[in-house]
Amino acid sequence: MPAVSKGDGMRGLAVFISDIRNCKSKEAEIKRINKELANIRSKFKGDKALDGYSKKKYVCKLLFIFLLGHDIDFGHMEAVNLLSSNKYTEKQIGYLFISVLVNSNSELIRLINNAIKNDLSSRNPTFMCLALHCIANVGSREMAEAFAGEIPRILVAGDTMDSVKQSAALCLLRLYKTCPDLVLMGEWTSRVVHLLNDQHMGVVTAAISLITCLSQKNPDEFKTCVSLAVSRLSRIVSSASTDLQDYTYYFVPAPWLSCKLLRLLQCYPPPEDGAVKGRLVECLETILNKAQEPPKSKKVQHSNAKNAILFEAIALIIHYDSEPNLLVRACNQLGQFLQHRETNLRYLALESMCTLASSEFSHEAVKTHIETVINALKTERDVSVRQRAADLLYAMCDRSNAKQIVAEMLSYLETADYSIREEMVLKVAILAEKYAVDYSWYVDTILNLIRIAGDYVSEEVWYRVIQIVINRDDVQGYAAKTVFEALQAPACHENMVKVGGYILGEFGNLIAGDPRSSPLVQFNLLHSKFHLCSVPTRALLLSAYIKFINLFPETKSTIQEVLRCDSQIRNSDVELQQRAVEYLKLSSIASTDVLATVLEEMPPFPERESSILAKLKKKKGPGAVSVNELEDAKREGGELNGGGERADTSAMAASNASTPSPSADLLGLRPAPAVGSAPPSTGSLLVDVFSEGSAAPSAGVNDDGFLRDLEQPPETSDTLLAEGPGDSDSAPPPAVSEEPAPPLPEAEELLNKFVCKNNGVLFENQLLQIGIKSEYRQNLGRMYLFYGNKTSVQFVSFSTTVSCPGELPTQLNLQTKTVEPLIEGGAQVQQVVNIECLTDFVDAPLLNIKFRYGGALQNLTLKLPVTINKFFQPTEMLSQEFFQRWKQLSQPQQEAQKIFKAGHGIDTEVVKAKLLGLGTALLENVDPNPENFVCAGVIQTKAQQVGCLLRLEPNAQAQPGEQMYRLTLRSSKDTVSKRLCELLSEQF
Amino acid sequence: MIGGLFIYNHKGEVLISRVYRDDIGRNAVDAFRVNVIHARQQVRSPVNNIARTSFFHVKRSNIWLAAVTKQNVNAAMVFEFLYKMCDVMTAYFGKISEENIKNNFVLIYELLDEILDFGYPQNSETGALKTFITQQGIKSAHHTKEEQSQITSQVTGQIGWRREGIKYRRNELFLDVLESVNLLMSPQGQVLSAHVSGRVVMKSYLSGMPECKFGMNDKIVIDKQGKGGGTDEAGKSTGKQSIAIDDCTFHQCVRLSKFDSERSISFIPPDGEYELMRYRTTKDIILPFRVIPLVREVGRTKLEVKVVIKSNFKPSLLAQKIEVRIPTPLNTSGVQVICMKGKAKYKASENAIVWKIKRMAGMKESQISAEIELLPTNDKKKWARPPISMNFEVPFAPSGLKVRYLKVFEPKLNYSDHDVIKWVRYIGRSGIYETRC
């Protein structure tokens, strides 16, 4: 840089800055700035041109004002003028102003680009550097567009100065980072790679940053850099500390360059070429050796530089993961750092060890440091280091040391920092599950976990305990006993109460033999915690109580007493109130058989991925869990739980489903997934009770009705309940008949709507919508019925029957599948009807629908829109042929004719569309009168085919309202003619 | 209740810190500094809630006064207290500045102990305080032992603001009606908003325990009298002569029950200076000046401004300290001003032309014209044209308020209403008096 000449001091600027520094208040500062701005404006406005020095001074002041946080909206032109100055300082200030202040959209950008171009093409290296720095500082897309082509040329040109090359490399890197699409290396690639061979170390250092970035995007193009990098590295590593003069930093040769080279190599797999690989391994060994040498200086910079290279080398070794020797050595050297004075080193050592632990070669070596790591966990002052120590413990854990590590982590948890507790809890939970040899140990561990850090035990953890206890018969007794003991503590965590409630509710009977834990004692113990718990836990406890009634009938009266008390049955929380009411009724009405069925022990959970693992995966955390570990865990988890089923690969997604949802279905009142697909709502509780209970002889129709009443919203359930028991003795309520209702009066009309179309809405009222979609081929048809629940309340006992009245069964064959008995509010179910036409028919089949909405039975009957014309097969024929056939069907009974008024006026296109919808072929140019419509088709039935001709003659000339049609149908079968005539006459 | 009170200088250093309740910790001091004084964005709300602690602050020049509480207190009460606190400090040592606060910190702590007790505001009447808090400038010489012994009975008695046994040779009282008139006017001369906020300040030097009755041309009172009396005089005095007061507040000495029932203002005055009432009017305001702006943009680099002011009051009256402030665009590079009267100058530091006239009689007009040169900028933003503002002082009340009488009765001592020398003065000042251009 040229020396600053004497006149460049810019005294005015110094005065201005000191004025501002001396301002007492913000207001004074603003006043001073306003004054200065006015002064600069008048100077810039002044007619006589300013000299370079004052221009520079004022631009500098503007820049300073801008950096103080004020808006600057002038002076850009002056700054651009400065760019063309030949003085270094003026040019520098100009570039500074522009890189700080110029936004891309200004019209000045062309002038600026021009000035930059001039500087780039000048042979003056300082000017070129200034221009390059400006491009990099602005780093906008426009800059990239303008100069992305130019800079690589400067970078590789033979005659460019080294300092310019450095700037160019870094500038290009910056542009590449902003818009990679514009920086295309193409032909320059190999020459850029060869910059690694440059004699100037600065150029190499700058170039390697660029190459690392580029090779991360397209590794193949830059593959050649590996061997160059290795040779460069080996030259540096093997050089004596005095060889590299300027680039030796506290006796370490070129530490930054070494680190960057090592990092570049981490972008690639180990070199295939044996010689290169040998050389690299040699380098790495040398680095490891050098790290062991006694330090050449006591200065911290020396050790920092050395360690930086060492850690980078170890990272490379871990990346390659193929040299057992090096891995073990790396591990040992890291071990030395574990007790180093320097906190940063301890942190880095632990972090690197975490990754080493996952390598099979060095896992054992890492394990030797267990004592040190445990010690670090206990005594380390810095929380982030402790966190890493916990990570490492987790990573190095296996079957052999699991018990020790889990115990240590548990004991640490009591004093652990709050920020890492939750993660620690998860890790303990996983390790306990993963390496559990016996389940009592597992149960103990998790209960301890809840005891120590209950607040941090997430739902998943205790779900998992329960899953495992339920699935394993052998631990159930032990678990019940342990939980019972744990609950005796005067203050226990809510999660503990949850686990306790669930497990005692399921397996309390296993410890009931002991008089110290008799049913009543168990119940009282649980109930003593009840009032301290939150609503979800209380709900769970209520479920546990009802289970108790089943397990220990002797507690029934006590529990009913509890349920009956106002704080339950009138609880302000709807969920609790509903449970209390339902359970109370269930316990007083249902027989023991029903109770035993409903409140049966939970079936084993289907084996899935541990929900805890999924949770930990979601959490970030370097080295927390690597992928193969997870696989491992999954495998071992599978073994552990003895489930024959394989964890599916998409378990991640399913994991949420695998955890019992905390609300209604905890006790499995809902049929277990094995039994049938459970509807997801909590309200379904008692419907399911009914559907199972109805199998039991005692549950009659009235109970059925009563229980259905129960699933009313709670506010109405009170009154319904009041009359429920009374009703149960009397006859079924007469108001609602269970017989299929007669067809709706409008059914015929609804039917007519579908003569000419196949899809649409058949029926709709406030509750229900029925949509139809149908298709016909030959004598077969398929109809899809869609039942949509328009309310927000579910329909229960939804059933449909399709029946054929009269002699229709011999003419039409209908097959349907039954539909789901339950339609959720807003949901839609589909039913398929398969239709086979045996012979021609007249009547339409009936569809009867029954369901309960809000306790009231709904019953309605509709006609299914199946008419004979649906089985039409269009026949194309010429005029002559048509009239020939027309004449053939001239017997009076074969013809049906009707004259009727036009319903909607005569519109040719509408009529045509309807006739086509009918299924026949519309024949053009057949009838001599072009206004008449002529159609032909064959009706396909299983028994026979019926040819059919049609003529529709409108009198379009008549007054609107007077318009008439004459419809004539001739077919080989008289019934068909008649029926078609009837159907069609309604359509126009 | 108020948990603590802090006074900061402009840098956020604590000058005075008095904590009244245990729920306010020492860190509250820092919380206010960090979140309000040193906030990145200027905090405009006078009430801030930081970590469940409420901070109420007022700023006097460079000094921040902050009252702190954890409870749900009446914010109006807190601010009233803070204003009172400012008044008390001003009465004791003049201007509230860092220097003065540092010099009088012992006094301030003593005052704070007296006017707030466990966070509850106590007697903050300057006159009463001065009788027993006597520091530095306040002389206690003329207080006799006897007088000091009465302090307790006075401050705990029914009339806490006046002690017994005051004697003056000459009974005298001064009454000032101070008003500030606020205006926003459109360029065409349409009044967009206008109101007057006024104060009646009294200085009384009366012997004994006099009973005073104050009367003004309040519309309600005059109408009532007009109805009751039915005389010609009362009929004349209604109409233009009476004013409608929108709202008013009184000094604690005024008997509010009497005001509510008869709308008469009667009181036993404190000794010395005090503010008798505060009021606000919005109707029939006399606007002392009319500003007529004329701005013309000549191309992108030039602006011509012409402003005419017209005085609108009796020619016999003189307005003083007139100052017109004409904002200039932010890219002004030079200004030439010509004015017929007074002095005008372009003040770059304030981005405005300031035109000062020492005095001006009523029903006159004066004019200024300026040429403003602009520097072309690449900024597309248009100049927002802030309004032209004005300052002045006139010797009448722009609201039209008139003092009709002030009667003094002292039944025990032997002086009648006629013996009291009364002085009345009206001063109307500009508040925010702006005209858009």
Contacting residues of A for B350, CB less than 8 Å apart: 31, 34
Name the nearest CA neighbour of B166 among B275, B274, B270, B88. B270
Q: Which residues contact A967 (CB under 8 A, 6 or more apart)?
A: A897, A898, A899, A900, A950, A951, A952, A953, A981, A984, A985, A988
Nearest residue in chain A measured CA to CA from B348? A35
Judged against a pLDDT cut of 70, whether residue A610 lies above it is answered with no
| Average pLDDT taken over every residue of chain A | 78
- Give A35's contacts in chain B (Cβ within 8 Å): 348-349
C-alpha distance across the termini of chain A, in Å: 98
Cα dihedral across residues B134, B140, B144, B150: positive or negative:
negative
Distance CA B108, CA A369 (A): 66
The pair of structure tokens assigned to A678 is: 């459970």
Does A939 or B378 have the greater pLDDT score?
A939
As a whole number, mean pLDDT of residues B319-348 equals 91
User: Considering Cα of B311, then B313, then B318, then B324, what sign does the dihedral take?
Assistant: negative
Determine phi and psi for A282, rounding to 5 degrees. -60, -45
Beta pairing partners, B280: B197, B247
CA distance A907 to A930: 14
Contact A532, A492 (CB under 8 A): no
- What residues in A contact B331, CB-CB < 8 Å? 41, 73-74
Tokens of B269: 């005055």
Q: Which amino acid is at A648?
A: D
Q: How long a stretch of residues is chain B? A: 437
Q: What's the gap in Å between the CA of A31 and the closest CA on chain B?
A: 4
What tokens were used for A757? 């179309």
Select from B331, B349, B373 the Cβ nearest to the Cβ of A31: B349
The closest alpha carbon to B105, from B15, B33, B18, belongs to B15
As a three-state string, the secondary structure of chain B is CCCEEEEECCCCCEEEEEECCCCCCCHHHHHHHHHHHCCCCCCCCCEEEECCEEEEEEEECCEEEEEEECCCCCHHHHHHHHHHHHHHHHHHHCCCCHHHHHHCHHHHHHHHHHHEECCEECCCCHHHHHHHCCCCCCCCCCCCHHHHHCHHHHHHCCCCCCCCCCCCCCCEEEEEEEEEEEEEECCCCCEEEEEEEEEEEEEEECCCCCEEEEEECEHHHHHHHHHHHCCHHHHHHCHHHCECCCEEEECCCECHHHHHHHCCEEECCCCEEEEEEEEEECCCCCCCEEEEEEEEEECCCEEEEEEEEEECCCCCCEEEEEEEEEECCCCEEEEEEEECCCEEEEEHHHCEEEEEEEEEECCCEEEEEEEEEECCCCCCCCCCCCCEEEEEEECCCCCCCCEEEEEEEECCCCECHHHCEEEEEEEEEEEEEEECC
Least confident of A33-47, A790-804, B255-269: A790-804
User: Over the stretch A959-980, which tens digit does the pLDDT of each residue have?
Assistant: 666 778 888 888 888 888 888 8
Q: What pLDDT does residue A681 have? A: 37
pLDDT of residue A747: 67
pLDDT of residue A4: 45
Assign A969 to helix, strand or coil: strand
Q: How many CB atoms lie within 10 A of CB B121?
A: 16
Angstrom distance (rounded) from CA A671 to CA A676: 7
Q: Which residue of B has its CA nearest to A43?
A: B333
- The confidence score (pLDDT) of residue A354 equals 87
- Comparing A571-575, B88-92, B321-325, the range with the smallest average pLDDT is A571-575
Contact A42 B333 (CB under 8 A): yes
Q: Chain A closest CA to B61's CA: distance in Å?
A: 10
Q: Which of A601-610, B137-146, B364-373 bottoms out in mean pLDDT, i.e. has the lowest?
A: B137-146
% of chain A surpassing 70 pLDDT: 83
d(CA A127, CA A162): 14
Identify the band that residue B219 occupies on the pLDDT scale cut at 50, 70 and 90: confident
List Cβ neighbours of B294 (8 Å cut-off, separation of 6 or more): B305, B306, B307, B308
Given a contact cutoff of 8 angstroms between Cβ atoms, the answer to whether A623 and A354 are in contact is: yes
Are A38 and B332 a contacting pair at CB < 8 A? yes
pLDDT band at A260 (very low <50, low <70, confident <90, very high): very high
In the predicted model, is pLDDT for residue B390 greater than 90?
Answer: yes
> What's the complex ipTM?
0.72
pLDDT for position B378: 66
Q: What are the pLDDT digits (tens) for A514-540?
A: 878 888 888 888 888 888 888 888 888
What's the mean pLDDT in B399-413?
89
Among the partner-chain residues B349, B376, B381, the one whose CB lies closest to the CB of A32 is: B349
Segment B239-260 mean pLDDT: 86
User: What is the distance of C-alpha A554 from the center of its chain?
Assistant: 49
As a whole number of angstroms, the distance between CA A708 and CA A798 comes to 13
Longest CA span, chain B: 80
Residue A682 confidence (pLDDT) above 60 = no
Residue B139 has pLDDT above 80, yes or no: no
Highest mean pLDDT among A599-603, A930-934, B361-365: B361-365
CB within 8 Å: B378 and A76: yes
Q: What pLDDT was estimated at residue B85?
A: 93
Q: Identify which has the larger pLDDT, A813 or B236.
A: A813
What tokens does A633 get? Answer: 């865990």
Task: For residues A122 and A161, give the distance between their C-alpha atoms in angstroms, rounded to a whole number.
Answer: 12
Going by their DSSP bridges, the two strands B172-185 and B421-435 should be labelled as: parallel
Give tens-digit pLDDT for A185-225. Answer: 777 888 888 888 888 888 999 999 999 998 888 888 888 88
pLDDT score, position A729 = 39
**Residue A376: predicted pLDDT:** 81
- The residues, any chain, with a CB within 8 Å of residue B40's CB and separated by 6 or more, are none
Asked if the Cβ–Cβ distance from A25 to B62 is below 8 Å, we say yes
Rounded to 10 degrees, what is the CA torsion of A700, A702, A708, A709? -160
In whole angstroms, what is the distance from residue B97 CA to residue A348 CA? 55
Tokens 């499995």 label which residue?
Answer: A668
Nearest to A34 among B10, B334, B349 (CB): B349
Give me the residues paired with residue A796 across strands: A852
pLDDT of A792 reads: 77
Min Cα–Cα distance to chain B from A94, Å: 18
pLDDT for res B11: 86
Sign of CA dihedral A490, A491, A496, A502: positive
Provide mean pLDDT across the span A616-645.
Answer: 44
In tens, the pLDDT along A42-91 reads 888 876 778 888 888 999 999 999 999 888 888 888 888 888 888 888 99
Which residue in A37, A65, A106, A108 has the most chain B C-beta atoms within 10 A of its own C-beta, making it the best mutation to test that interface?
A: A37
Number of helical H runs and strand E runs in chain A: 44, 16
b/e map A569-579, b = 16+ CB within 10 Å: bebeeebbbbb
At A710 the pLDDT is 36
Residue A507 neighbours by CB under 8 Å, 6+ apart: A469, A476, A477, A479, A480
Contact B378 A107 (CB under 8 A): yes
Least trusted range by pLDDT, from A168-177, A607-616, B264-273, B320-329: A607-616
pLDDT at position A694, please? 36
> Span A78-107, mean pLDDT?
84
Residue B124 has pLDDT above 90, yes or no: no
Contacts A107 to B, Cβ<8 Å: 378
pLDDT score recorded for residue A429: 83
pLDDT tier for residue A771 given thresholds of 50, 70 and 90? confident
Q: Compute the nearest-CA separation of B44 from chain A (Å).
A: 15
Residue A512 confidence class, pLDDT cut points 50, 70, 90: confident
| Residues A146-184: tens digit of each pLDDT | 888 888 888 888 788 888 999 999 999 999 988 888 877
Chain B positions touching A31 (Cβ under 8 A) are 349-350
Task: Read off the pLDDT of residues A438-488 as tens digits, 9 standing for 90 and up.
Answer: 788 888 888 888 888 777 777 878 888 888 888 888 888 888 888 888 888
Q: A290's torsion region: left (phi>0), alpha (psi -120 to 50) or beta?
A: alpha
Which phi-psi region, left, alpha or beta, contains residue A86 (left: φ > 0; alpha: ψ -120 to 50)?
alpha
Q: Which of A35, A37, A42 sits opposite B334 (nearest CB)?
A: A42
Determine whether the interchain pair A34/B332 forms a contact, defined as Cβ–Cβ distance below 8 Å. Answer: no
Instruction: Say yes or no to pLDDT of B196 above 80.
Output: yes
Predicted pLDDT at B137 = 57
Q: Which residues contact B229 (CB under 8 A, 6 or more apart)?
A: none
Q: What angle do the packed helices A418-434 and A611-618 form, to 10 degrees?
A: 140
The predicted structure's pLDDT at residue B387: 94
Average pLDDT (A568-586) is 86
Burial zone of A740 (CB within 10 Å; 0-12 exposed, 13-18 middle, 19+ buried): middle
What's the farthest any 2 CA atoms get from each other in chain A? Answer: 127
Task: Kindly state the average pLDDT of the residues A389-412.
Answer: 85
Distance CA B193, CA B182 (A): 8
CB contact under 8 A, A108 and B331: no
**To probe the interface with B, which of A16, A31, A74 has the most B CB atoms within 10 Å?**
A74
Rg of chain B over all Cα atoms, to the nearest angstrom = 26
Residues in chain A: 988
Interfacial residues of B (vs A; Cβ cutoff 8 Å): 10, 62, 330-334, 348-351, 373, 375-379, 381
**b/e burial code for range B373-395 (CB count within 10 A of at least 16 → b):** bbbebeeeeebeebbbbbbbebe
pLDDT for the residue A912: 80
Instruction: Take residue B234 and report the two structure tokens written for it.
Output: 């009362």
pLDDT of residue A631 exceeding 50: no
Quote the mean pLDDT of chain B: 87
CA distance B433 to A137: 49
What pLDDT, on a 0 to 100 scale, did the predictor assign at position B363?
93
User: Distances in Å between the alpha carbon of A521 and those of A488, A494, A504?
Assistant: 11, 19, 11
CA distance A415 to A392: 19
Residues of B in contact with A76 (CB under 8 A): 378
The reply to whether the predicted model has a pTM over 0.80 is no
